[in-house]
Chains A and B, each alone.
Chain A
Amino acid sequence: MDESALSLELKRDLISLFRQNTGALETNSGRILNLYRERAFHDFDKLGIPSTKNEAYRYTPLEKYFQGNYDVELNANPFKIDVGSVFKCDVPELDTDVVLVLNGFFHSGNKTGQLSGGVIVCGLNEASVRFPDIFHKHYSHYADSEADGLVALNTLFAQDGVFVYIPPNTVMEKPLQIINLSHSLKNLRITRRNLIVAEENAVANIVVCDHTLCNQRYLANSLTEIFAGENARISFDRLQNENNLSTQINHVFIHQLQNSLFNGTSISLHGGLIRNNFYARQDGPNCETNLNGLFLCDDKQHVANYVLVDHASPHGTSNQLFKGILDNDATGSFNGKILVRKDAQKIQAYQKNNNLLLSSAARMNTKPHLEIYADDVKCSHGATVGQLDNEALFYLRSRGIGEKEARFLLMYAFANEIVSRISVPILKERIIELVDKRLRGELSKCNNCDIRCG
């Protein structure tokens, strides 16, 4: 691989970290989790931390974010948090089942076990022991550790996270809200691993919120594998709102069987570096995959979205719509790919990335592309990087709307195309409020949180 001296050094450090802690990691984890470490080790040793020479990470200079001292927690933090109070933090009045994940560990205070209809929500590690059959059938089956050193790194250090199982023909009664919290007194490296299995005809609404409770540097490498059985319908919305010292790398692997539907919307508000990798594979005919993303960033934030939709079966549709507003020195990138395999005929796949730059220093790199091996397909892709429309701005101002408010209205309209796609109505309303505040510069990463730290 293309490795710089720095990435070699980072790799060596991580490998020795693993060697020092292998014993503890394996004792703390279920057998199936440990089963995949050896291969992950091998893959990580080969791939390391992707440098900007790696095409997929060309615009995301990760290495510098990996530098510096971070603690690692090998055991769940005993820190007591009242789930109810955190819950108010970002999405209040949302009638959801809530689970908390603290520094990567499924929190012991979570009410877990079986929800109505036989839905299972529990810690990942617990699931690997209690539900070995389901677990073994899916865990690490969709995350390809050969493709990305960070995926390998996640599997290497994976200990815990959330496990969700929706049995066949089951509709989840309420949306499940997963709150990822980072809280520590020192800089912390966090590994989170989630597995979501929706069997045939299952319906699931899942909301993930990422938060930091303190102004430490966090380096989180999260990975979620999602299985959508035949006819399953999954919505998976994510709100990323961490402190601007934090680095969040986030991989989502979606595996869809025939007639299944996946809707995913990610809203990135705060966070120093946010890197989202989405891999969706349609492994049966008639699948639909919708991936939307909105990122609003300023200062020195960097938000990167990488998407690969893999049409491996015919008659599928997919839509990617990613929009970004970048101010100050913020940088962003979009790297989206539609892959249509040889026998995947009658595919409709669309991809769009639109960006607004509010300052002359803000930068956006966008690279939409298609790779098509079937002949009967309908695909389109496009990208724009532009400024706020001056004509529209003047039109609004000519009606008495002040410049600031006029700019806000235009930005809000731009963002709303994504927000309006969020599937859970109450969540949508709340996100509208948050986006509103964020665009007005009134949302700092912590001020909407009940837990005050420091």
Chain B
Amino acid sequence: MLQIKDLHVSIDGKEILKGIDLEVKAGEVHAIMGPNGSGKSTLAAALAGREMFAVTKGSVTYMNENLLELSPEDRARKGLFLGFQYPVEIPGVSIVNFMKTAINEHRKFKGLEPISASDFLKHMREKKELVGLTSSLTNRSVNEGFSGGEKKKNEIFQMAMLEPILAILDETDSGLDIDALKIVAQGVNQLRRKDNATIVITHYQRLLEYIVPDFVHVLYKGRIVKSSGKELALELEEKGYDWIKTEE
């Protein structure tokens, strides 16, 4: 589904990612861990198409297509979803309007008619329940004045609404209380299918107890320095990153 080869990404001429290789197949869950500033969010944003992150070298193939040639909106319409580490507040745009517009843009891309008002409401109600989002929240402007945890829940809600093929969740667990964490994990698990995949970026082993990964990768200074099974997360939790740094 996703093949990243020797990916180099710079911001303002400064190289952040220094050759990433990663392959994600349908049905898999990958976890990416790594110390602060190692480039995890940069990788996620580059995959989602943020222009300020310039790809200087390497390739990314998504569903047999050159991902890097696509606009951010086309990536999304083809099933890529990024759960932001820092969701953006958009005053004046209601969540309802935002999601309706997004869904209709996805439908237009597929050659479908806009969704009917009743279907939209039904869809919305279902997904709200799934992630435990209240109407008082969805009637508000996107993320405006939301608590940290509410913002993260809203990311999962959007994911549920858009039903992506490849979801990249950038620290969606941080800032969530235990109950919310379970709800979020449950949401992710319910959306798991044979033909989709998830990349979770996290600092905590805790999340991986609920969303069990097939692979755990350690990103360090712009490179994946270690990849292993789910037991790697436990080891990291115990020992921190120092042993990897010295191993390097």
Interface size class of chain B, counting residues whose CB lies under 8 Å from the partner chain: 20 to 34
List residues of chain A with CB within 8 A of the CB of B149.
Answer: none
Query: Which of B73, B98, B109 is A403 in contact with, Cβ under 8 Å?
Result: B73
List residues of chain B with CB within 8 A of the CB of A399.
Answer: 76, 98, 102, 158, 162
Encode A397-433 as 1/0 by CB contact (under 8 A) with B: 1111111011001101110110000000000000000
Given contacts A410-B90, A416-B92, contact A398 B101 (CB under 8 A): no
The answer for the CA separation of A401 and B50 in the assembled complex, in Å, is: 14
List residues of chain B with CB within 8 A of the CB of A389.
Answer: 88, 90
- Residue of B48, B73, B84 with most chain A CB atoms under a 10 A cut-off: B73
List residues of chain A with CB within 8 A of the CB of B81.
Answer: 398
- Which residue in chain B gives the minimum CB-CB distance to A404? B73
Report A's interface with B, CB cutoff 8 A. Answer: 389, 391-392, 394-403, 405-406, 409-410, 412-414, 416-417
List residues of chain B with CB within 8 A of the CB of A414.
Answer: 92
The answer for the CA separation of A143 and B206 in the assembled complex, in Å, is: 71
* Interface residues in B71-90 (C-beta closer than 8 Å to A): 71-73, 75-77, 81-82, 84, 87-90
The answer for the CA separation of A71 and B189 in the assembled complex, in Å, is: 75
Given contacts A392-B88, A395-B87, contact A400 B102 (CB under 8 A): yes
| Interface secondary structure of A, over-half rule | helix
B98 touches A409 (CB 8 A): yes
State whether the Cβ of B150 lies closer than 8 Å to any Cβ in chain A: no
B92 touches A401 (CB 8 A): no
* Interface residues in B46-104 (C-beta closer than 8 Å to A): 48-51, 71-73, 75-77, 81-82, 84, 87-93, 97-98, 101-102
8 intermolecular pairs with C-beta atoms under 8 Å apart? A389-B90, A392-B89, A394-B72, A397-B73, A398-B48, A398-B75, A401-B101, A417-B92
State whether the Cβ of B21 lies closer than 8 Å to any Cβ in chain A: no
Q: How far is the CB of B116 from chain A (nearest CB, A)?
A: 19
A397 touches B72 (CB 8 A): yes
Q: How far is the CB of B79 from chain A (nearest CB, A)?
A: 9
The answer for the CA separation of A402 and B101 in the assembled complex, in Å, is: 10
Encode B86-130 as 1/0 by CB contact (under 8 A) with A: 011111110001100110011001000000000000000000000
- Which residue in chain A gives the minimum CB-CB distance to B92? A413
List residues of chain B with CB within 8 A of the CB of A392.
Answer: 88-90
The answer for the CA separation of A413 and B95 in the assembled complex, in Å, is: 12
The answer for the CA separation of A150 and B110 in the assembled complex, in Å, is: 58
The answer for the CA separation of A399 and B89 in the assembled complex, in Å, is: 14
